[in-house]
Each structure stands twice: as C-alpha cells, then as structure tokens.
Structure 1
C-alpha cells in the first residue's frame, strides 16, 4: 500500500499480478489505511491520497480500476474530483459521504459516481460492492446485432460507443450499461430492481433510486426531455423502457 509522493507521480509502476489498482481518496488517514488494507487483501494495489488536488494527479498516474472517493476533501471536494477524473477516465467511482441527506448523494452521483456509501460503513461491505462492480459483465449484443439505432441515437454494443446525430456521446461505464440494458430489450418495461440486477448485479444492496439518478444523468447527455422522452421513457408506477427515438 502506498501514499503518493512527488517522485511517485514521475513514473507509472507496472500493474500488480492481479491487474487491479485502487485509488483511495480520504482525508481521514486511519480510515484510508483501513480501506486500503481491505482492498489489498482482495488483490488490489492500493494507493492512498488525502486531498482533492493530489487525487486528480494520482488518478492520472495510477490509472486505477476503481476510486474510493470521499465527498468532503480539502482543496477540492469529492464532486469536483469526480468531475475532473471523468474527463480522462471511466474507472469505477464509489463515493463516500459523512452526510446522510439525499442531496449530497445525488450531487455525487450526478457527476459520474457509480455507487455510494454513507459513513460509518463496514469496509467489508465496501470491498464487496467494489467486487460486484468489477464483476459486472461487459454486455454483448442480443442476439447477434452489434449496432442498435433509435432515431438519431446509435449504440455500438460491442465497441461500447454511442453517437447522437453522428456525434459521440461520452458515457460512464454505468451509464452505458444502463442504456444497453434498455436497448437490448426495447419493448420491455424494466422495474428499478430489474435494472439494478442487470447493471449493478443481483448482490447489490442499497437505495434503488440510484437508478433514477443515473437515468437523469443519461437523459441530460442524450438531450432527452422528461415530458416527451425520445430515448429513455418513464412508465409511471412501473419503471423505464427504451424509446423509439421519435
């Protein structure tokens, strides 16, 4: 387990045998060390930093598979750190917050976090959730089509690319997986729990309104209007389904 020093940012170390890297961004030094030790037991190479500015630099240098990111950080808060990381990385991000109110959770997720946990939490539960994220299958098309089109929206399921009116749409892994789940079965209405099972995994435990937050973020990127959605439609009292693009 390592902390980031000036010399650490000069060169990138080879990947550990497991191929997994984790960046823990937490200003509580003891908690950061505890999280790091649990991740190392699960085969990660864990790098620890304790402020927001160094977190962004470390994310560029370490190229992590997952970032555990505290919301309340010195220099830059977790929301801004997540926003900056999302400009160059699609790693999984798990946001930690000491405040249980919903606003902080929604703010964190709206900038591209994949999951969240409220302090205090069990480090074992955290590592279990990270394991579930990493086990999420990269979707293959059904039955054999690689590209799906819905009006001006094109989805390449194999290449994991999305275009709208010919322009690429930058989606996080979670946003793409959610869109792919809907697009693969466009006539099906998915309840929140069904989307949780398909995108986050059947072992995921938490607030199912997580789906609503990601749907909202996905709609913004697709320029979709809630009242007359073309791509991600709400079926009141049931859940979501894919729109036709019209």
Structure 2
C-alpha cells in the first residue's frame, strides 16, 4: 500500500483542490484497490465499470486524469480512448494484461499518455499518476474546452452553464443530456444511447422520458424544436447538438 505519510501534490493543504481521478475498469477488485490506493494519496476518485459509464462520468463530472482498462465489457478500451480524445485532453493511463509491444504502441498512438501492464505495483502506478498530473498542471491548454457562442456558455470542466451571462440551473439529468450531446457535437446521438446513458440500460425504450427531458432543457436554453439553435431532433433517430464550431479554450 502507498506510504500515507509521504506528501503529494494532492495531499498538500496549501495546494489547489485535490486532483480528480476517474477509474474505468470492469473488475470490482481492481476498482476497489485503486479507489483505496488513490484516496490514501489524497485524490478524489470516481469509478466506472464500463466504457459508457466512464465517458458519461467524464463528460458530466470531469477528471484530471483517467485510468482506463483496455478489456471492457461494452467497448474496447481503444474505442473508449478514441471517443474520449474527440473532446477531452485529460491524461490517460491504460491498464491491460496484454504486454505486447504492438499493443502498447497502438494505445500510445491513439492518444494514451502512459501504459501499465497488469499485475502492477501500486507505487509505480502512483508515481506515474503524479508525473502526469504535474505535466497536465503545467499546461493550461490541457483543460476541457468551453462551448461559447456569445449567448450560451458551457464549461464542462467546471460543470457550469450560463445563458446571456446568467447561470442556468439544470437538474442532474438535464446536465447529463446536454453534456452528452455536446461531446458528440455535430453528430446524431441515438435515442437508445441517450436513454441508456442518462437513465440506464433498463430504460432504452422509454422514449417519453427523453421527450420530456429535452423539452425542459430546450426551455431553459431558450431553444425551440421548430427552429433549433442548439438541440435538433432527427425524427425517429435521436438528437444532435447543432453548432460544433464554438469550442474555445477556457479562460485562464
């Protein structure tokens, strides 16, 4: 186990709030082990058991670093990494039992920052986590970009939504829906995918939930279904965030 008396960036009371680490792994014992180990070093920890949960957690809550298993039940880790890299530059450490050089090269070429083979030593992993967080903190442009078209501003890193400069109070599910559409901006997200990620796998046919939620979200964003500025309906298919061009680096 890590030396809990050893000071780290995360545990320094004079530093910024503790870094948030998202662990995406389908093995409960690995998630529990990493949760305990990371919290012992002073980090905030979020856990996800599959790729869909992990992408949703990252979009909704943000993370300073992601530990991503390659062997996931719903999506291959490489697929999750590819999706993640379309909208997030959070550093990623890949975990896998596959130790081949070709596998490592593929992961790094796809946008991973580091690679650890199972079984791994916790001290080595924590050292890699600290190193990547230092590099990330040194580069302000690594933060999630902000959507801002001069009217609507959505900062996924801070989980802030403003319309004409005024804060917009969204429910948890309204924000989840907006974040999901934003990270796929310009592309259609199907109804089953939205229902699964917002309400869970048992609600993939409850389309009336989605109609009610998107209606409330549109109202709060000053959007209209007939002439959408932000959320367009593709009949019988799903929803699309209309404007994918207004991503900007966050204010420093």
TM-score scaled by structure 2?
A: 0.47
Relative contact order higher in (CA < 8 Å, ≥ 6 apart): 2
TM-score scaled by structure 1?
A: 0.48
